[in-house]
Structure 1
Amino acid sequence: MAKKIESPCVSICQLNGDLCIGCGRTIEEIRHWKAMKRPEKMKTVKRADERMKKIGS
């Protein structure tokens, strides 16, 4: 069985527009996380990571 994809949430839930500055996910991504299948979660984590890198620079 494939390893579970953990949520990128770091319990710093603060929104700037529709983006969480704690994890980099959008409101919609956060809202739909539990219903997402593994491939969608993997894409979401990657996009969130890319957003966080942009925020950090």
Structure 2
Amino acid sequence: MKFLLALPFIGLLWVPFYNQETPALFGFPFFYWYQFLWVPLTSLLIWIVFKNGQGKGEE
């Protein structure tokens, strides 16, 4: 499950993928809202890995 922690790193590592203006969301270019989307997603992934580790007795 710890591999989930690599997803935000991989998702933000390849800048040419999200270095564009379209599609816009609420007036924000894709470049910005894509990065902002990773903030709650990363929190969710950390929580999932944490809960999974608790169930296995890891600290």
- TM-score tier (shorter): 0.3 to 0.5
Larger radius of gyration: 2
Q: Which has the higher strand share?
A: 1
Of structures 1 and 2, the one scoring higher in RCO (CA 8 A, sep 6+) is 2
Q: TM-score, normalised by structure 1?
A: 0.40
Q: Which has the higher helix share?
A: 2
